[in-house]
Amino acid sequence: MMNAFNLKELVRENIKRLKPYSSARMEYTATSAVLLDANENPFGMPYNRYPDPFQLKVKETISKIKQVDVSQLFVGNGSDEIIDLLIRLFCEPKEDAIITFKPSYTMYITSAEINNVDVIEIELDDEFNLPIAKIESTISPKTKLLFLCTPNNPVGNTIPLSEIEAICRCFNGIVVVDEAYIDFSESISATTLLDKFENIFILQTLSKAYGMAGLRLGIGIGNPQIIALLNRIKPPYNVSQIVQDVVVKRLQFRAEIVAHINLIKNEREILFTYLKKNNLFYKVYPSEGNFILVQSKRYLEIYEYLCTHGLVVRVRNIPPKLSDGLRITIGLPEENSLLIDCLENFKNR
């Protein structure tokens, strides 16, 4: 059932040849010794020492929550750092390409362009679902990475696991499944496919459902060989001591995090019901994220009216498929009520 996936063949030659930088804290990991090896300053406790380069405490905590092995985990300075590392690991500049979908998160494109790697953008169909046949005809030996986003930003719909499986089967590169919003969704995580496919790599983050965007902690989940390769090329101390400490502490309060997720999901339903019956919008998309996408011929007018009343939403005008779009993030109950009041006032002006 496995495709012709061969990890060694996929990795860039220079990375295969690379002798990774070995930091002091990688070479000596005990903490009880007198540490005179890293040119740290003995003063300045508790932040005078370099942090754990492999973020073991963070990974142990996440491994329990996500039901994956520590060896399957990578953490980065936001998932944006992991996107960049994946591109640098697998894509030869000016030769290889990534596949992305439109409309979707655009950081994949920006990151590829910064690395001088080609981007093949495939339009989603009219319902913003994956055009599977088109994917099969687009993939080539040069397409090393394919980025799926589920729930998809900015639409909010999800990709069925069966379709992700189909792509893992027909694609010999790495299928990156960005699940930044998975904890707001009823869908089953693609982590359940890890035992079946070596070429799947899942991205999650503490930025959205876990409420820690300011800390910058992205999560990569994949087979241990891919994790080991990422570890070879990452900046040695890519997650700071403060971030590692605060993340471990905050993740102890799971019940509170789950309660907030449920509150946001409930608010999403209230706002969705309201937006659906407001005739300003010709389309309102059901969402499994913490945002709702709407379309209105008067989207710019609405956007500006909301701005002048102290409310900011995101304009998403991505022709040809997604014109006149506004993406509204679910806020506090009182913030969402304010938005509803404001939209009523706009209509009744």
Ligand X SMILES: *Cc1c(COP(=O)(O)O)cnc(C)c1O
Binding range to ligand X, per CB under 6 A, among 72-80, 123-131, 292-300, 325-333: 72-80
Kindly state the smallest distance separating residue 347's Cβ from ligand X, in Å: 30
Kindly state the smallest distance separating residue 285's Cβ from ligand X, in Å: 15
Kindly state the smallest distance separating residue 68's Cβ from ligand X, in Å: 17
Kindly state the smallest distance separating residue 234's Cβ from ligand X, in Å: 15
Q: From CA 155, how far away is CA 185, in angstroms rounded?
A: 13
Q: Are 303 and 315 in contact (CB under 8 A)?
A: yes
Residue keyed to tokens 């996107």: 83
Of 204, 152, 138, the closest CA to residue 318 belongs to: 152
Binding range to ligand X, per CB under 6 A, among 5-13, 75-83, 122-130, 278-286: 75-83
Beta-bridged to residue 201, according to DSSP, are 176, 222
Give the x-and-dash track for 183-222 against ligand X (CB under 6 A): ----------------------x-xx----x----x----
Dig out the tokens for 54 from the structure.
């492999």
Of 181, 183, 179, 148, the closest CA to residue 166 belongs to: 148
Residues in 153-172 that interact with ligand X by CB under 6 A: 153
Position among 55, 61, 72, 79 found at the interface with ligand X (CB under 6 A) = 79
**Site for ligand X contains 105 (CB under 6 A):** yes
Q: What are the backbone dihedrals phi and psi of residue 172, each rounded to the nearest 5 degrees, phi first?
A: -90, -5
Dig out the tokens for 116 from the structure.
């001088």
Dig out the tokens for 253 from the structure.
């309060």
How many chain residues interact with ligand X (CB under 6 A)?
13
Q: From CA 299, how far away is CA 325, in angstroms rounded?
A: 7
Dig out the tokens for 135 from the structure.
């994917």
**Site for ligand X contains 80 (CB under 6 A):** yes
Position among 180, 215, 243, 328 found at the interface with ligand X (CB under 6 A) = 180
Q: From CA 234, how far away is CA 229, in angstroms rounded?
A: 9
Kindly state the smallest distance separating residue 157's Cβ from ligand X, in Å: 13
Kindly state the smallest distance separating residue 274's Cβ from ligand X, in Å: 24
Q: From CA 349, how far away is CA 345, in angstroms rounded?
A: 6
Kindly state the smallest distance separating residue 147's Cβ from ligand X, in Å: 9
Q: From CA 216, how far away is CA 76, in angstroms rounded?
A: 8
Give the x-and-dash track for 225-254 against ligand X (CB under 6 A): ------------------------------
State which residue, 5 or 291, has the beta carbon closest to ligand X: 291
Contacts with ligand X, residue ranges (CB under 6 A): 78-80, 105, 149, 153, 178, 180, 205, 207-208, 213, 218
